[in-house]
C-alpha cells in the first residue's frame, strides 16, 4: 500500500477496513479518524473495552483496504 493509493480510497470509499499482515483489522468509519503520512497511517479506533485508542499502521504492513458492506 502506498500513500497515494490510501488517499484515493479516503476520497472515494468510507467506511472501510484496513487489514494488516499479522491478521489485525481496523475499521475506519469516518475520514476524521485517520491521517496518512509518507510511511504510515494513524487511526483512532474503538477498542474492545469501549475506549478510543490510537494506532500507528505502517503502510508496508497493510495487506488490503476494503469497503465495508452497508
- Cell numbers placing 60: 508496508
Whole-number pLDDT of residue 44: 95
pLDDT per residue as tens, the chain (70 positions):
889 999 998 888 679 999 999 999 999 988 899 999 999 999 998 888 999 999 999 999 999 999 887 6
Alpha-carbon torsion (34, 35, 41, 43), positive or negative: negative
Neighbours of 8 (CB within 10 A): 11
Amino acid at each position: 500500500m502506498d500513500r497515494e493509493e490510501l488517499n484515493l480510497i479516503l476520497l472515494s470509499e468510507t467506511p472501510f477496513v484496513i487489514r494488516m499482515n499479522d491478521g489485525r483489522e481496523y475499521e475506519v468509519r469516518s475520514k476524521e479518524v485517520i491521517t496518512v503520512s509518507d510511511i504510515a497511517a494513524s487511526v483512532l479506533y474503538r477498542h474492545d473495552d469501549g475506549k478510543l485508542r490510537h494506532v500507528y499502521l505502517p503502510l508496508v504492513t497493510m495487506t488490503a483496504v476494503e469497503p465495508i458492506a452497508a
